[in-house]
Amino acid sequence: MRTLEISNLHKEFVDAYTGQTVVAVGDVSFSIEQGEFVSVLGPSGCGKTTVLNIVAGFDTQTSGSVLVGGKQVDGPSPERGVVFQSFALFPWKTVLGNVTFGLRMRGVPRADREAVAHQYLELVGLQGFEAKYPHELSGGMQQRLGVARVLANEPEVMLMDEPFASVDAQTRRKLQEELTGIFETKRPTVFFVTHDVDEAVFLADRVVVLSSRPSQVAEIVTVPLERPRHWRSALDNPDFRHTVTYLTDLLAAGEPNADESEDAPETSAAAGAVGEG
């Protein structure tokens, strides 16, 4: 079942200073299945955030359509929960208050929402921190709280826009591995935006590669890695390395390749990495 279906998405902005029209998203189509993790990878400025914002309902497209659960997106909804790079937690609410907020807004009784919150806090390793405030948590913990808060609403799709871009490299690896573990446990549907090739491959079932502006889908690559995944074994895995190299070259080329067969990985194992591009 397709949870998210983006068809011929096109977005133009009019620059406030110059009055010039900027094509932020050229013509983007792809879909995400229920319980699938899709990374959207592309160079800076290719329109990744714009696509995510349209799916979130924060912005509207110039043309094309976005369906979530078969329905046209019409404004923000907890059904499409967003994990922001800048945490966006409620600083005046405790950890527990942050996670239960959405459920409270939906009228879920206190005992039930606290039971759900505890379950997700445990999932992200924040049990015991219920009474703390966001400022008492490290950056990594705040990001985990952001994930727990979104997942507690059991969204149709979880939207993540470079959520680990502002944490140090070591914490980033740890958070990526944790997110993978959470995904493998709960199987949410995830739309994950990044310009980091390793991250895109490590996390995803499929990687949607966007070309530079005016962006189009250059290729969709299926990641040939089994789950559960761990960095230690991924880095030693030739399929992981082949996929990363392939995508790195694709991004460097800047444009979709006319002849895919020339650029596809050579080994038969890695050949499975090339999807329906």
| By the rule CB under 6 A, 45 interacts with ligand ADP | yes
Q: Which residue's Cβ has the minimum distance to Mg ion?
A: 49
Tell me the closest approach of the beta carbon of residue 184 to ligand ADP, in angstroms: 27
| By the rule CB under 5 A, 50 interacts with Mg ion | no
Among 10, 22, 84, 178, binds ligand ADP (CB under 6 A): 22
Using CB atoms within 10 Å of the CB of residue 237, give its burial: 0 to 12 exposed, 13 to 18 middle, 19+ buried: middle
Residue in 199, 200, 195 with CA at minimum distance from that of residue 252: 195
Give yes or no for a contact between 211 and 28, defined as CB atoms under 8 angstroms apart.
Answer: no
Among 2, 5, 13, 125, binds ligand ADP (CB under 6 A): 13
In sequence order, what are the residues at sequence separation of 6 or more whose Cβ sits closer than 8 angstroms to the Cβ of residue 91?
133, 134, 135
Select 48 or 229, whichever has its Cβ closest to ligand ADP.
Answer: 48
Tell me how many residues contact ligand ADP (CB under 6 A): 12
Tell me the closest approach of the beta carbon of residue 48 to Mg ion, in angstroms: 5
| By the rule CB under 6 A, 20 interacts with ligand ADP | no
Among 39, 41, 48, 68, binds ligand ADP (CB under 6 A): 48
Select 85 or 257, whichever has its Cβ closest to Mg ion.
Answer: 85
| By the rule CB under 6 A, 165 interacts with ligand ADP | no
Q: Return d(Cα 120, Cα 185) in angstroms, integer.
A: 11
Tell me how many residues contact Mg ion (CB under 5 A): 2
Tell me the closest approach of the beta carbon of residue 194 to ligand ADP, in angstroms: 10
Residue in 149, 126, 123 with CA at minimum distance from that of residue 138: 126
Alpha helix stretches (DSSP H) within the chain: 48-56, 95-105, 110-123, 139-152, 169-186, 197-203, 231-235, 238-253, 260-263, 268-271
| By the rule CB under 5 A, 194 interacts with Mg ion | no
Q: Return d(Cα 177, Cα 203) in angstroms, integer.
A: 8
| By the rule CB under 6 A, 24 interacts with ligand ADP | yes
| By the rule CB under 5 A, 176 interacts with Mg ion | no
Give yes or no for a contact between 225 and 200, defined as CB atoms under 8 angstroms apart.
Answer: no
| By the rule CB under 6 A, 97 interacts with ligand ADP | no
| By the rule CB under 6 A, 163 interacts with ligand ADP | no
Q: Return d(Cα 267, Cα 239) in angstroms, integer.
A: 9
- In this structure, the number of other CB atoms found within 10 A of the CB of residue 111 comes to 8
Select 48 or 118, whichever has its Cβ closest to Mg ion.
Answer: 48
Tell me the closest approach of the beta carbon of residue 22 to Mg ion, in angstroms: 14
44 binds, among Mg ion, ligand ADP, none (CB under 5 to 8 A by kind): ligand ADP
Max CA-CA distance within the chain?
A: 59
Which residues lie near ligand ADP (CB under 6 A)?
A: 13, 15, 22, 24, 42, 44-50
